[in-house]
Amino acid sequence: MKLTWKLSLAIGLGICLVLGANAYVRVRTDSAAYRDDVRRDHDITGRSLATAVELLWRTDGEARAREMVEELNLRTSHATIRWVWRAAGPDEPEAPQRRDLVPVLDAGTRSEIIERDGDAPRMLSYTPVDLPGDRDGAIEIDESLADEREHEHATLVRTATTTGVLIVLCAGLTLAFGTLFVARPLRRLAEKARRIGEGDLSGPLDIRQDDEIRDVARAMNDMCDRLGEARTRLERETDAKMRALEQLRHADRLRTVGQLASTIAHELGTPINVVRARAAMVADGSVSESRVRELGGVIVVQCDRMTGIIRGLLDYARRDPPDRFESDLVRAVRESVQWLRDVARERKVSIELDAAPGELLAWIDPRQMQQAVTNLVLNAVQASHSGATVTVRVRAADDEREAVVEVSDHGPGIAPEHRDRVFEPFFTTKSAGEGTGLGLPIVDGIVREHGGVIDVTSVPGGGACFRIRLPRRSAEPITEASPTTPAGPRGSALRDSWRGTAQS
């Protein structure tokens, strides 16, 4: 409906402009024609009267001639006619309105418009008369142009009335036809577009009028048909992809189960065989008492080894949610490094801690972060050769929004084909008996639950660098522990102990 009103307004303005211009031109043209007619009438009347005055003046004298002029003035209602001299004499008190307009003989009639304040303009004309003697006279015709103003006013009123009637008529027709042929079809097109935006492609739009709007409706119907076909095709493809994805997930689960079974069988098979063999020797009774104690010790060692493997699996599969609070990351890393110095010393590897003095507060669970750092440092120590140095750096990022922990070694490094798999469960490049491939996946899980990121890069000259980035504020974690999970006595005690130490 808004478009229809705009069209009506535009048409009304166009009509006003056209008729207004036409009225202006017409008024000007009629006014000029009216004045030309009055001037022509004055000229004809003046010449005729001048000829009659000349003849009468010569035959009957001046008095009779001037009397005829006065009689003619009395008979003329629309104009004033009188006799004037070109130059007034001493016994002539009256004077012409514009004596300077009186032309010389044989110059014809001279006319001019006289404007007076508050009065209608007047046409003043003078026609010279050839008289005997030295004095020259003239016939003065003074006529009001009030009819001109009345004509202009009538023209304006007629034009305004015509304009109003045309505007009302055109606006009514525009509103009627605009509503019927523009507003309603466009409203239906808008409703169809809204339903398409909401995903409803049903119900083709039927526009019966033969114009561009029907072409748009047909194009929109064709678009809906193509979108419907594309949606059907996409649903079929999506279903096929979901089935393929489910099959891949099932295959991946089978692969994971198979890899887990293979790893468990590999890791537990050897100690179980050792335990069985030693237990069989003890059960046989053919060994001495001292040998029985020795075999018992071997059995205990192998059982501890199996317990460690099972504990690693449980730690990966069933981690407690982190109890995060603002704590000193430097202290957590320093304690982890301190715990591993004896292990590093046995392998003749040194550990260097590079951390700025003071605290570096981050939003962490200190116990879990110590577990992650311990795994990284222990891997770096095991990967380093004798006499090498493992460097642990703790610093704040440039934007002060993250805390960074870097663990660098100078071992053989990580092959490019293995770099994307180091965080996969059960993937390991260590020899049998040295690892289950669960350390780095556990570290990756801890870091992610802290809202952080871990990556690995190669160190120039050989070795690898594991970099952990952690948020320093609580508003940035990727995943949070369930709000219904209480921190428990352990979390509260740990938090209190860390905060108490920091205050002391």
pLDDT at 150 over 60: yes
CB atoms within 10 A of CB 43: 17
Question: Any idea what DSSP says for residue 430?
Answer: S
Give me the pLDDT at residue 90, please: 55
The residues facing 454 across adjacent strands are: 468
CB atoms within 10 A of CB 446: 23
Give me the pLDDT at residue 504, please: 35
Secondary-structure breakdown of the chain: helix, strand, coil percentages, each rounded to the nearest 5: 60, 15, 25
* Domain 207-318 class in CATH: mainly alpha
Residues for the chain: how many in total?
504
Question: Rounded CA gap, 378 and 359, in Å?
Answer: 24
pLDDT at 336 over 80: yes
Give me the pLDDT at residue 407, please: 92
Through-space distance between the first and last CA atoms of the chain, rounded to whole angstroms? 77
Query: Structure tokens of 372?
Result: 């992650």
Give me the pLDDT at residue 137, please: 81
Question: Rounded CA gap, 71 and 341, in Å?
Answer: 146
Query: Structure tokens of 383?
Result: 């990967």
Listed residue (153, 225, 214, 164) closest to 185, CA to CA: 214
Question: Rounded CA gap, 269 and 273, in Å?
Answer: 6
CB crowding 366-388: b at 16 or more within 10 Å, else e:
bebbbbbbbbbbbbbbbbbeeeb
Q: Which residues lie closer than 8 Å to 193 by C-beta, 6 or more apart?
A: 220
Give me the pLDDT at residue 437, please: 62
The residues facing 467 across adjacent strands are: 406, 455
pLDDT band for position 259 (50/70/90)? low
* Domain 2-162 class in CATH: alpha beta
**Where does CATH 3.30.565.10 sit in the chain?**
322-503
Task: Kindly report which listed range (64-73, 395-404, 482-491) carries the lowest average pLDDT score.
Answer: 482-491
Query: Structure tokens of 63?
Result: 């008095």
Could you report the per-residue pLDDT of 54-94, keeping only the tens digit for each?
888 888 888 888 888 888 888 888 888 988 877 666 555 44
More confident residue, 118 or 219: 219
Could you report the per-residue pLDDT of 282-297, keeping only the tens digit for each?
888 777 878 888 888 8
pLDDT at 476 over 70: no
Q: Tell me the HSE value of 63 on the side-chain side, using a 13 A CA sphere.
A: 0
For residues 32-40, average pLDDT: 88
Give me the pLDDT at residue 83, please: 84
Query: Structure tokens of 414?
Result: 């990580």
pLDDT band for position 236 (50/70/90)? very high
**Where does CATH 3.30.450.20 sit in the chain?**
2-162
Q: What's the whole-number average pLDDT of the chain? A: 79
Listed residue (7, 17, 13) closest to 175, CA to CA: 7
Question: Rounded CA gap, 364 and 476, in Å?
Answer: 12
H, E, C per residue of 226-256: HHHHHHHHHHHHHHHHHHHHHHHHHHHHHHH
* Domain 322-503 class in CATH: alpha beta
Listed residue (118, 117, 138, 136) closest to 128, CA to CA: 138
Question: Rounded CA gap, 201 and 228, in Å?
Answer: 7
Q: Beta strand pairing status for 464-471 and 325-328?
A: unpaired
Query: Structure tokens of 279?
Result: 């237990």
The answer to whether 21 touches 159, Cβ cutoff 8 Å, is no
Question: Rounded CA gap, 27 and 440, in Å?
Answer: 99
User: What whole-number percentage of the chain has pLDDT above 70?
Assistant: 80
Q: Which residues lie closer than 8 Å to 152 by C-beta, 6 or more apart?
A: 27, 30, 31
Question: Rounded CA gap, 75 and 140, in Å?
Answer: 15
Question: Rounded CA gap, 328 and 93, in Å?
Answer: 124
Query: Structure tokens of 460?
Result: 């120039």
For residues 460-486, average pLDDT: 63
**Where does CATH 1.10.287.130 sit in the chain?**
207-318
Give me the pLDDT at residue 482, please: 35
Question: Rounded CA gap, 320 and 334, in Å?
Answer: 23
- 153 phi/psi in degrees, rounded to 5: -60, -40
Q: Which residue has the tokens 């209608």?
A: 120
Give me the pLDDT at residue 285, please: 77
- 455 phi/psi in degrees, rounded to 5: -140, 170
Q: Which residues lie closer than 8 Å to 380 by C-beta, 6 or more apart?
A: 390, 407, 408, 409, 411, 464, 466
pLDDT at 471 over 50: yes
Query: Structure tokens of 265?
Result: 């069988």
pLDDT band for position 375 (50/70/90)? confident
pLDDT band for position 117 (50/70/90)? low
Give me the pLDDT at residue 406, please: 92
Task: Kindly report which listed range (131-140, 145-154, 473-482) carries the lowest average pLDDT score.
Answer: 473-482
